[in-house]
Chains A and B, each alone.
Chain A
């Protein structure tokens, strides 16, 4: 017994070191911009750069649109299929796994080839390009939004609740807004935070569609020019991920947290 728990501690400590050392090194490095003393100068430099706020604002906006579109797309579909077309469930599950098979770089490649030319010409306008970016992120988010919503709906008796609502005179829209969405609050919020955590710093799709307007490519640019600021950006970005994931943990206490596979690798 003793021996077993000794080795358990060894593995935990080893893994924790792997986890903490890079963060500690980055934090340490980010404090050394001023020679000889530790200071938060590099953080100050990050925060006074208007581009930092512009790009993070842009990426947050894109993330919020991504969340809205993916919820509006996935929730009614999963609900409808549970209610009326249960034979399509397998296909839906298969589709939701497709983003694992198509890496982000391949996805953005295909999207550029399809939508930059005739008949769409999406990349000719800002609006079109942003819409394309949101669409790409909706695809990336699809696996975990689907899973969160699907498990959320499995927990309630969709058919009986719908019948009850219908017998009270509710139509499809009312049922969705007043019955399904409230029941899926946890699923929707946790997939929203996961989307925020992965989309805000996303690099691959953003760099090919909008370049340094987005936060990921902006960080990359800073990394090429400024040594210390890149470390403080890494710490700031880690705090971001940390706070969003922490919120998910708070929401889904006890349950296994959903995780992202098709994120910003």
Chain B
């Protein structure tokens, strides 16, 4: 009885303080440290880059920094970055999807699924400097796979124009953390495909391929595309792996920004700001598409 009264009272008090307007200022104390942190270390740096991008060395307003982005070498850097991100997102996305398919709809033993999830968790976090070392030992000039291919198949990768330190090499290296990430994000979507749907399709006389074309793929498509966009962004912002693999001798946008920070070549802070703002814009567009696709996929699948 007494308990009941107490809880009623507190409920009443809390109901009042939880009402959206008006805010007593005390309600805001608890979130102040977090918002100060966010302001100092996320917003302030971004705003500085953004405003810096519109100013010249003397501090006057200008658009010339963005004109600088039209320089052929910068356009090339954006282009190479986009190509590598796209190739590694599609390559990693397809491989990751097929593996996730194998352990969900493919009905492989649960032990295989658990192992795959654990390995994916590790591999998606294995990036940067050590990953570059691993691929040098694998596909570098004297790497194990390079030597094996030469000795067994008589195929000299490097005579065929392959180089670990260029487009394909970097794409293959990025795929190492891309496909496990795809496995991790797409598995729940594949789990969401209901057996009833394929049974219903079968009852209506549809074969496996018709079911996939007309039911499963349209339902999964937003998830698949969304996940691949996530992978794209993941590769687009990558710096450590590319830098330690190529020693900075590949024209990626992150590498160009890196050399602007160091101020070692063609130092032009305004251009550096514009490059960074360009990256943020691309990444923000990717995330916007990702979220709209996610909303679409949530119509059918609970993620």
**Contacts from A to B (Cβ < 8 Å):** 4-5, 7-9, 11-12, 14-16, 18-19, 21-26, 28-30, 73-74, 76-77, 79-81, 83-88, 95, 97-114, 135-136, 138-139, 159, 163, 166-167, 172, 194, 197-198, 201-204, 208, 216, 219-220, 223-224, 230-231, 233-234, 237-238, 241-242, 245-246, 248-249, 256-257, 259-261, 263-265
Contacts and interface: CB of A to CB of B under 8 A. Distances in A.
B125 A198 contact: yes
Contacts of B108: 5, 8-9, 12
B279 to A, nearest CB: 6
Nearest to A101: B283
Contacts of A245: 118, 121-122, 125
A77 B125 contact: no
B7 A11 contact: no
Q: Is the interface of A mostly helix, strand, loop or mixed?
A: helix
B30 A84 contact: yes
B240 A265 contact: yes
Contacts of B287: 97, 100-101
B144 A24 contact: yes
Contacts of A139: 41-42
A230 B188 CA distance: 37
Given A15-B96, A105-B258, A138-B37, 9 more contacts: A8-B102, A11-B102, A11-B106, A18-B175, A22-B176, A29-B137, A83-B18, A246-B118, A265-B128
A25 B31 contact: no
Contact of A102 (B133, B244, B283): B283
Given A103-B254, A241-B122, A8 B107 contact: yes
Contacts, number: 283
B177 A265 contact: yes
B52 A25 contact: no
Nearest to B135: A22
B240 A9 contact: no
A220 B128 CA distance: 9
Contacts of A265: 127-128, 177, 234-235, 237-241
Nearest to B50: A110
Contact of A260 (B48, B96, B125, B230): B125
B126 interface: yes
A159 B237 contact: no
Contact of A107 (B45, B244, B260): B45
B124 interface: yes
B10 interface: yes
Contacts of B31: 77, 80-81, 85, 88
Contacts of A87: 20
Given A11-B102, A106-B49, A265-B238, A84 B27 contact: yes
Contacts of B169: none
B239 A103 contact: yes
Interface of B: 6-7, 10-11, 14, 17-18, 20, 27-28, 30-31, 33-34, 37-38, 40-42, 44-46, 48-49, 52, 95-96, 98-99, 101-103, 106-108, 112, 116-119, 121-138, 143-145, 175-177, 179-181, 184-185, 187-188, 230, 233-241, 243-244, 247, 254, 257-258, 260-262, 272, 276, 279-280, 283-284, 287
B14 to A, nearest CB: 7
A134 to B, nearest CB: 10
B246 to A, nearest CB: 12
Q: Which 3 A-B pairs have the closest CB atoms?
A: A110-B45, A103-B237, A8-B106
Contacts of A15: 95-96, 98-99, 116, 179
Contacts of A204: 128, 239-240
B45 to A, nearest CB: 3
B107 to A, nearest CB: 7
B189 to A, nearest CB: 12
Contact of B257 (A105, A203, A230): A105
Given A25-B134, A84-B30, A167-B6, A95 B38 contact: yes
A216 B34 contact: no
A31 B275 CA distance: 43
Given A159-B14, A259-B121, A99 B129 contact: no
28 contacts: A4-B107, A11-B95, A11-B106, A12-B99, A21-B138, A77-B30, A101-B287, A103-B279, A105-B237, A105-B257, A106-B237, A109-B49, A113-B45, A113-B48, A163-B11, A163-B14, A203-B239, A204-B128, A220-B244, A234-B129, A234-B130, A234-B137, A241-B122, A241-B125, A246-B122, A256-B117, A256-B187, A259-B184
